[in-house]
Structure 1
């Protein structure tokens, strides 16, 4: 099932499967969200919960139970319930069920508010611990933007521009693990990263921690079109396009978590950037996108 939102000539579609925003069109009819062509990647804008990336050896311990989950967790494969709607917003909710409890032994309430803004959209995610024990989780976005946006452009015509000049390497996966001692120079006193497929062919994902910037732009040097994503609530930013296929999209991913890191402990709470919620506690994180 899909919901349609409208505001000032702009529109969006929200899928109840995964609770994700799967389309955003501006007043001129320009589509910004990747359409999910399975020849490249069938995803569009999944919500990552309760893990980001995969698990070391496919599992992790939580309260003495072995938790086994697919990459990026189970929320993106679950049907959300629509709880409230308006002309330009929708709130959807996922609660634990028999399938989630087999993978993650915690009762929870996961709410996502998808909303059209004046010139873009926002996604606000609230996680609530409805159980009796401390609940660990990680959370992330995975928004895939069409790149290029305009006819006649190339992927290489685009760049990522950061709010501030950065001196930040990218973490490099080694045999499925991140190792903070194995890094590759990427941003060296610059606020601009020219896009090239070779980054993703060689490293799969560019993962930045410790950025000063709180927003980035995906911007065309040819048409001037693009998007700016604000990710104030998230300490990690990742960029991804499927390796080896020269795919016409780029994912900009705000994360509160990381894939497995070499040397991390076996417990869920040992995962990098893991959040711990006490019983009855909740946490909201938001990112928002404006078109250029």
Structure 2
């Protein structure tokens, strides 16, 4: 377990999956991150790579060969190497290997950088293609936040998620686990979205950002605590809590990619939302979380 700290926050990140597991306020000892109670969801903030969401039959095709891969890919279950570290920052690295190439026949290097500054934790993804052929991938974050936060006796329904800019966003619904790309809709965030568990009856609420900068802020009127997730260039952001379990947390998930379309034919190169990275090129994406 890697620890970062400053005068405001202490942060813990597991080398297994490069998974953020804890963010605590130094003074109040408030724990902001969901603590992976398996009764509801046994993870904290998994990394989604090289796919986001589900594939039809947990399979895809590339160059006439079929590969198997389960939801959200394999990176979250791999041990990363720590390749740089200071008191307030760390870089985790994962490279392709014999096991990964059985599921994903591409050479890659994935670096994940965490940087703590004041009350803000920045997360940067860097995907490098060291080969002479294009690679195809998606990537995303899945951080879960305690609701309620702090010593409040409040309820899940006391919290809201506000968006900046406060506007109506393009949205995609899920049909089962798959993206209904042929029937786009909208989500009105001109006012904050009040949380209730029934919101997630049909899975995540997905905003189609198209790399428009946005901030989603989770707060209540019960105390001063909250979190704000800022996205500079994300393709999508999902808001999710498991249903029908009345879980005391919500995830705000920046995605560069999305689950298979309902009518996907399995060709990875044509997958909706996939990123193509040219030989010797590098992909960069980032988001930040402010804890208050």
TM-score by length of 1: 0.94
Superposed, 1:1-292 pairs within 5 Å as 2-28=1-27, 29-150=29-150, 151-168=152-169, 170-182=171-183, 186-187=187-188, 190-200=190-200, 202-210=201-209, 214-292=214-292
- Structure 1 segments, 4+ long, off by >6 Å, are none
Q: Identify the range of structure 1 (18-27 vs 154-163) with the bigger mean alpha-carbon deviation.
A: 18-27
Distance 2:58 2:123 in 1: 29
Partners of 1:174 and 1:161 lie apart in 2 by: 25
SS in 1 for 2:165: strand
Question: What SS does the corresponding residue of 1:41 show, helix, strand or coil?
Answer: coil
- Structure 1 residue 142: deviation in Å? 0.3
CA separation of 1:129 and 1:119: change in aligned 2, threshold 3 A = same
Unaligned runs of 5+ in 1: none
- Deviation of 1:177 after TM superposition, in Å, equals 2.3
Two-structure CA RMSD over aligned residues (Å): 1.6
Query: Does 134-143 or 20-29 show the bigger shift?
Result: 20-29
Contact 1:21 1:114 (C-alpha < 8 Å) held by counterparts: no
How many Å apart are 1:111 and its aligned residue?
Answer: 0.5
Q: Helix, strand or coil for the counterpart of 2:100?
A: helix
Q: C-alpha displacement at 1:147, in angstroms?
A: 0.9
Distance in structure 1 (CA, Å) of the matches to 2:207 and 2:42: 25
Deviations 1:202-255 (A, max 9, x none): 212111114755111011122131011111121201011111111011000000
Q: 1:3 to 1:210 in 2, by over 3 A?
A: closer
Any gaps of 5 or more consecutive residues in structure 2? none
Other structure's SS at 2:166 match: strand
Bigger strand fraction = 1
